């Protein structure tokens, strides 16, 4: 009987420690810091590596801006719990250079193919973790998409904390499985692709596309993203306001003027 009791205690302890080790192996990473960012970005990142560097270094350091304002390299976080931008800010033009819905023929934004709304993340944890352990979801009016952060490894930065006074190790475009103490990523982005139409100016095509969305014109919609690492999640949202192009306002003013003139003419009769 004594032998059986001792064996039962050993068996219980073995099961307990095996479960504990399984949980540690399966890993619930507890971030010490998990900060999210929303910002406007180039629609095509490989056209602007300096912007990517400015964004990632700033997110790691907790900064809110980097670079020279008025240039495509300038990164600035949209501050506050919820953010508003215009639908014209979310235009991708594969057939010409543009920025924030306007075709550009010269100046600093030449070579940019439009702008997008992007959702960034910076995470630090005492326990090392990898890109593939970070999941995300993106919800727009037309679709819901989920995935893991290793999809954005080419616009990511991993940092391994140096030990015993050694400097930190920075790894650009890390592999999905490599472990780090800090990871910063430029995550999912949202933009609207508008192609050129033969016989019509590219700018007019953009204006017509933005004004022809019956679901959104005169209203707004949200872009929502959630990041998750272990049991910790962060959700952020951008409100997109659909603002008619200047030509639409001009036509509306003319229409109101004509209506008022007609009404006054009727009243005189």
C-alpha span between 3 and 10 (Å, rounded): 11
The answer to whether residues 76 and 39 touch, using CB atoms and an 8 Å cutoff, is: yes
Residue 247 lies in a domain: yes
> What residues contact 5, with CB distance under 8 A and at least 6 apart?
none
Query: Mean of the per-residue pLDDT values for the chain?
Result: 81
Total-model pTM: 0.77
Q: Which residues are bridge partners to 144 per DSSP?
A: 139
Residue 120 lies in a domain: yes
Residue 18 lies in a domain: no
Residue 236 lies in a domain: yes
**251-268 pLDDT, tens digit each:** 333 333 333 333 344 344
Strand bridging mode 91-92 / 82-86 = unpaired
Domain of residue 189 covers: 29-263
Residue 194 lies in a domain: yes
**Domains in the chain, number:** 1
Residue 10 lies in a domain: no
Does residue 161 have a pLDDT over 70? yes
**37-74 pLDDT, tens digit each:** 999 999 998 889 999 999 999 999 999 999 999 999 99
């Amino acid at each position: 009987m004594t032998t059986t009791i001792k064996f039962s205690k050993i068996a219980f302890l073995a099961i307990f420690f095996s479960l504990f080790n399984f949980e540690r192996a399966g890993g619930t990473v507890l971030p010490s810091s998990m900060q999210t960012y929303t910002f406007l970005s180039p629609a095509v990142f490989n056209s602007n590596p300096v912007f990517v560097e400015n964004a990632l270094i700033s997110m790691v350091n907790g900064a809110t801006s980097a670079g020279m304002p008025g240039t495509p390299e300038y990164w600035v976080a949209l501050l506050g719990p919820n953010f508003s931008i215009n639908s014209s800010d979310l235009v991708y033009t594969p057939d010409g250079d543009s920025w924030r819905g306007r075709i550009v023929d010269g100046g600093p934004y030449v070579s940019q193919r439009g702008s997008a709304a992007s959702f960034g993340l910076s995470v630090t944890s005492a326990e090392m973790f990898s890109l593939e352990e970070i999941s995300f979801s993106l919800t727009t009016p037309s679709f819901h998409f989920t995935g893991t952060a290793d999809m954005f490894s080419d616009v990511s930065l991993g940092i391994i904390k140096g030990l015993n006074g050694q400097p930190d190790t920075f790894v650009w475009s890390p592999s999905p499985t490599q472990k780090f103490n800090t990871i910063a990523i430029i995550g999912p982005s949202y933009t609207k692709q508008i192609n050129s139409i033969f016989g019509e100016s590219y700018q007019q095509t953009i204006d017509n596309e933005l004004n022809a969305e019956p679901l959104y014109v005169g209203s707004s919609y949200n872009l929502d993203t959630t990041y998750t690492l272990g049991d910790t999640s962060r959700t952020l949202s951008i409100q997109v306001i659909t603002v008619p192009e200047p030509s639409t306002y001009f036509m509306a003013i003319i229409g109101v003027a004509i209506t008022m003139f007609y009404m006054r003419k009727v009243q005189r009769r």
